[in-house]
């Protein structure tokens, strides 16, 4: 079961790029890395998923170095509506047990 470590909180301003890094030193060979976003009073929602190098979609980019022991979620030009908690998950987490960490609280200021 790959344990993940993320910063507890981050602050940013509108229009800036935000990078949130997740450490997962004991990631398994077959594990994927997935990021979720959770707004207050809502369930988490899938943002992006990757295995290695770089993945980009309409919402974010995910950078994964060659050793895969960490990953960075990049949110370009954040807005106030990006204020949320961001969770990094690795693999299917011990088979089918899917354990979320505490996540990173991103607060975007005007």
Partner 1 sequence: NAGVTQTPKFRVLKTGQSMTLLCAQDMNHEYMYWYRQDPGMGLRLIHYSVGEGTTAKGEVPDGYNVSRLKKQNFLLGLESAAPSQTSVYFCASSYRVGSRNTIYFGEGSWLTVV
| Binding to partner 1 in span 72-91, by CB under 8 A | 85, 87, 91
Closest CB 96 distance from partner 1, rounded Å: 5
Q: Which is nearer to partner 1, 1 or 80 (CB)?
A: 1
Q: Is 96 in the site for partner 1 (CB under 8 A)?
A: yes
Question: Both tokens of residue 6?
Answer: 């993320």
Strand order in the sheet with 18-23: 18-23, 70-75, 61-64, 53-56
Q: Which is nearer to partner 1, 80 or 99 (CB)?
A: 99
89 pairs with which residues across the strands?
Answer: 34
Please pick, from the candidates 21, 23, 49, 83, the single residue that binds partner 1 as defined by CB under 8 A: 49
Pairing of strands 9-13, 104-109: parallel
Closest CB 15 distance from partner 1, rounded Å: 28
Q: Which is nearer to partner 1, 38 or 72 (CB)?
A: 38
């Amino acid at each position: 079961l790959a344990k993940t470590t993320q910063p507890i909180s981050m602050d940013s301003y509108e229009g800036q790029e935000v990078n949130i890094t997740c450490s997962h030193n004991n990631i398994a060979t077959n594990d994927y890395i997935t990021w979720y976003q959770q707004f207050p009073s809502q369930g988490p929602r899938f943002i992006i998923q990757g295995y290695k190098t770089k993945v980009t979609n309409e919402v974010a980019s995910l950078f994964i170095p060659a050793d895969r022991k960490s990953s960075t979620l990049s949110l370009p030009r954040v807005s106030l509506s990006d204020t949320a908690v961001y969770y990094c998950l690795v693999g299917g987490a011990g088979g089918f047990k899917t354990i979320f960490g505490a996540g990173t609280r991103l607060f975007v200021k005007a």
